[in-house]
Chain A
């Protein structure tokens, strides 16, 4: 079945450092891809998405490019802030027989800690 693999955390960075969180997927066809972020005690917030190959999703300084050749959707940010400390989840939308499904398959999550 479809699956998503993220790099294991925690990832600890100093403020203003460059961030990369790796995400690769296994799926039949070309699913839509998402990054969600979860702050302590809260639900998930959609960070960005890409729906087809070579699409680049971006939001709040975060970017990720849908690479079908490497089945990857790595999350990047040029300069992290303490407020970016959270758990980040990569996810794909599973393609049903008629593509008519919203089921998301998540990676295990990567904890990011940014120190001042």
Chain B
């Protein structure tokens, strides 16, 4: 069965622009989470969605937002990009919160 699909795989943006990243979870998975991975801060939780509702949010500025659609697909948006937003953004999906999450390969965002 297909895994978690993230698009695009790579992205280069300029400071001040905005970006939207997409995540398609495994079929049947209703829980989707997003993480930011950087060499300095490691893996940090961004948001968690379940059935289109944001259930949890990490400690990121309001420039980071997300949503989940009725088919469980999710998007995250970063507005007014800063150099420090350069990172690997990982999406993960799960049947339920205690099953363990399956991660996608990530979107590598570079802000120049």
Contacts and interface: CB of A to CB of B under 8 A. Distances in A.
B45 interface: yes
B contact patch SS? strand
A19 interface: no
A36 to B, nearest CB: 8
A35 B90 CA distance: 16
Contacts, number: 64
B33 interface: yes
A25 to B, nearest CB: 15
A41 B55 CA distance: 29
Interface residues of A, number: 25
Contacts of A42: 105-106
A51 B99 CA distance: 10
Contacts of A115: none
A43 B103 contact: yes
Interface in B53-106: 55-56, 58, 90, 92, 94, 96-98, 100-106
A102 B96 CA distance: 8
A82 interface: no
Contacts of A46: 100-102
Interface residue range, chain B: 20 to 34
Contacts of A93: 97-98
A109 B45 CA distance: 15
A49 B97 CA distance: 13
A49 B100 contact: yes
B22 interface: no
Interface in A75-107: 89, 91, 93, 96, 100-107
Nearest to A91: B43
Identify the 6 closest CB pairs spanning chains A and B, nearest first.
A102-B97, A43-B103, A106-B43, A44-B103, A43-B105, A46-B100
Interface of A: 32, 34, 36, 41-46, 49, 51, 89, 91, 93, 96, 100-109
17 contacts: A41-B105, A43-B103, A43-B105, A43-B106, A46-B101, A46-B102, A91-B43, A96-B56, A100-B97, A102-B31, A102-B55, A102-B56, A102-B98, A103-B56, A104-B35, A104-B43, A109-B42
